[in-house]
Amino acid sequence: MDWQEHITIDPDVLVGKPIIKGTRLSVDFILGLLAQGWSESEILRNYPGITSANIRACLAYASETLRLEKIYPLASA
């Protein structure tokens, strides 16, 4: 899945949070709904401006972001 077809970052919309293109729904908002137990069909019913592909793109964006994240331990004093 190419999440870049569905997700955009614009500093003028939601302070630059990644959002679903054409909406003001942030990736973290959609992920939060899924984490709370909302089903895909519940999300689509409550937010008719998005698609199943948009929801999968949110998951793909989060997956890639976490995969690219690097954590470095602090040196002990």
Q: Is the pLDDT of residue 77 over 70?
A: no
Indicate the domain borders of the chain. Answer: 3-67
- CA 46 to chain centroid, in Å, comes to 17
Q: Is residue 17 classed exposed, middle or buried when 0-12, 13-18 and 19+ CB atoms within 10 A define those classes?
A: middle
Q: Is the pLDDT of residue 12 over 90?
A: yes
Tokens of 30: 């959609």
What is the pTM for the complete model shown?
0.87
Which fold would CATH assign to domain 3-67? Arc Repressor Mutant, subunit A (1.10.10)
User: pLDDT for 14-66, tens place per residue?
Assistant: 999 999 999 999 999 999 999 999 999 999 999 999 999 999 999 999 999 99
| Confidence grade of residue 76 (pLDDT, cut at 50, 70, 90) | confident
Asked if 66 contacts 27 with a C-beta cutoff of 8 angstroms, the reply is: no
